[in-house]
A and B are shown apart, each in its own frame.
Chain A
Amino acid sequence: MIAFLKKYEGLWLFVHSPAAMIAALLAALILLGAVFAPWIALVDPYDLASFSLFDGLLPPAWEDGSNPKYLLGTDDQGRDMISSILYGARLSLVIGLSALTIAAVLGVGLGLAAGYYGGRFDAIVMRIADVQLALPAILTALLIDGIARGILPTAIQQDLRVAVLTLAIALSLWVNFARTARASTFVQMNKEYVQAAIMMGQHPLRVMFVHILPNILGPLLVIMTVDLASAILLEATLSFLGIGLPADSPSLGTLIRIGMQFLLSGEWWILWIPTVFLVVLVVSINILGDFLRDVFNPRLR
């Protein structure tokens, strides 16, 4: 009953928050566009045969000298901007979401165990978390990427770029999950239902994942939303720095890096359209995160 009311209340708040609704709509549109990119997109930016240099540097449809076929213009290679962006968003979201999943599984697992067992295990996990928290996520990700470059043989490095990037982002984001899960677990540990479950001799894993986890999902969901935005930003930043993905499989960050070359010449759309797209995506997710935080924590507002 209480759960239902809470759900109902969240929905009610959602309908009454125009910012959250617009943000959700934009995020959903981008997500759909990214998922269905292969069917919507005019050309396949990975397939050299599907576009031609003759269509290069066409401005968006509302400017002079444009081709109505390419609504937002084309880049120097003749790739349709919309197609590049849809595929780029697809890659950004895939990397962001998988990094987030790895970070969540790792962080929540360690946090639950730290909160459940306490003692020395808790101390070790939290010291590692403290040290990593002192280093900003971007530095951690850069470092992991650099180490991967040193360890992996050159031959397979190109193929593993996406995996390395995902792992680097995941390993720099797990701390938030671990700290939140641990703090919430501590609170739950003193409750009778957990004590009862332990007393009944249930397996620790069962207590952690079946009993405690469902009761600490709220704050974790907030962290997830906020960290999804961070993951997408991290990926974009690393790709922009030229450390992330190679130019032949462009994510949003790579597109912006390529667009930088046209900053001084007149082709503004190659730079600004992916940039606006990235900012809209991240701002939408952050607004949703703020909204969720307010829903789960009524004391804050």
Chain B
Amino acid sequence: MVYFILKRMFQSVFVMLAVAFLAFSLFRFVGDPITQMTGVETSVADQERLREELGLNDPFVYQFARFTGDMLKGDFGFSYRTRQPVADMISSRIPATLELGVVALIISLLVGVPAGVYTALKPRGVLTQAILMTTLVGVSIPTFVIGIMLIFIFGVQLGWLPTFGRGGTVQIGGWESSLFMIDGWRALLLPAITLGVYQLTLTMRLVRAEMMEVMRTDYIRFAMARGVPMRRLHYKHALANTMVPVITIIGLQFGGVIAFSIVTESVFQWPGMGLLFLESIRFVDIPVMGVYLVVIAFFFVLVNLIVDLLYVAIDPRLRIKDVS
């Protein structure tokens, strides 16, 4: 058990180092940092002195070590575009993206899991066919079109919900949250649904496949023969065993949520990390791009680490295998 956790931790650290290396290469080799920092009138001698002062002539490995060390200390350098510390720029945007992503995930699970169970238990039902057809179309409609459609229906035609921005936010110890005001929730609803739809179809399909698989197993047939009430059979015996894949889904979908939050944030002008990343691509703001990657990778690794630990907590078989 301890060995398993240590091994996973070690792997996570390795992934983070790889991403940090990618970010470092971006910063070091895509464009020259010195030309970005200095103006046209800076003399060549001054440029060389700056290069020496910043340690850009040092050996590559040494530079990378310093880069990683600075990152660990929370020093992420400065943006080429705004000249502000990247750490401040990114951290002020994290709450918006995380709240959007988490609410989208919750929507996708709250709708996707029951829909998956239902379509698995009633494979020939009319409603099942309708749901499956809808998801096929849902997968084919790009995220930004779903966003535009929601804006058009609920924002423009009905005028019920705001179409851009975060609405009212509350500061809680440096965390700017929109979860404590009705206004904030109203602004959050459309982007979260937009982001959740694609994940929802994935969740539903996976839960459906898993549930159908479990329903065919011997222990379910045995329980059926024993006369366990159907309700109890479905929700206690079968669903409990589909929970492991569902947790995997959360881990896998996190990457998708973050990536598509770039699109969603762009449609709704949601002031999160994705919008910042888009701007930094447009202006070739390499430090921000690099740090965005590192931060995303960090969340990704963290979520997957938690997911792996949850497996052990949920599935007793994994613990037994470990002992033997």
Contact = CB atoms under 8 A, between A and B. Distances in A.
Interface of A: 131, 134-136, 138-139, 142-143, 145-147, 149-151, 229, 233, 236-237, 240-243, 256, 260, 263-264, 271, 275, 278-279, 282-283, 286-287, 290
Interface stretch (B2-10, B55-63, B91-99, B278-286): B278-286
A64 B74 CA distance: 61
Contact of B156 (A142, A264, A279, A282): A264
B136 A243 contact: no
A142 B278 CA distance: 8
Contact of A237 (B30, B263, B280): B263
Q: Which 5 A-B pairs have the closest CB atoms?
A: A150-B30, A136-B259, A146-B281, A283-B140, A139-B259
A286 B139 contact: yes
Main SS of chain A's interface residues? helix
B277 A138 contact: no
A150 B284 contact: yes
B262 A149 contact: no
A237 B143 contact: yes
A256 B145 contact: yes
For chain B, the bracket of interface size reads: 35 or more
Contacts of B141: 279, 282-283
Contact of B140 (A135, A260, A282): A282
A147 B140 contact: no
Contacts of A240: 142, 144, 263, 266
A228 B260 CA distance: 19
A233 B142 contact: yes
Of the candidates B18, B139, B262, B281, the one having the most CB atoms from chain A within 10 angstroms of its own CB is: B281
A17 to B, nearest CB: 14
B142 A282 contact: yes
A151 B258 CA distance: 26
Contact of A256 (B144, B256, B293, B296): B144
B291 interface: no
B152 interface: yes
B281 A135 contact: no
A136 B136 contact: no
B167 to A, nearest CB: 18
A287 B132 CA distance: 13
Contacts of B31: 150-151
Nearest to B256: A136
B239 interface: no
Contacts of A236: 142, 144
Contacts of B295: none
A242 B282 contact: yes
B266 A241 contact: yes
Given A147-B30, A151-B30, A236-B142, A287 B148 contact: no
Contacts of B144: 236-237, 240-241, 256
Contact of A275 (B143, B145, B300): B145
Contact of B282 (A147, A243, A286): A243
Contacts of A237: 142-144, 263
B278 A241 contact: yes
Given A134-B255, A275-B145, A283 B137 contact: yes
B318 interface: no
B289 interface: yes
B26 interface: yes
A256 B156 CA distance: 17
A243 B281 contact: yes
A278 B142 contact: yes
Nearest to A265: B156
B124 to A, nearest CB: 14
Nearest to A286: B140
Contacts of A229: 140
Given A146-B281, A151-B31, A282-B140, A241 B145 contact: no
25 contacts: A131-B18, A134-B300, A135-B259, A136-B256, A136-B260, A139-B259, A142-B277, A146-B280, A146-B289, A150-B31, A150-B284, A151-B31, A236-B144, A240-B263, A241-B263, A241-B278, A242-B278, A243-B282, A263-B148, A279-B141, A279-B142, A283-B140, A283-B141, A286-B139, A286-B140
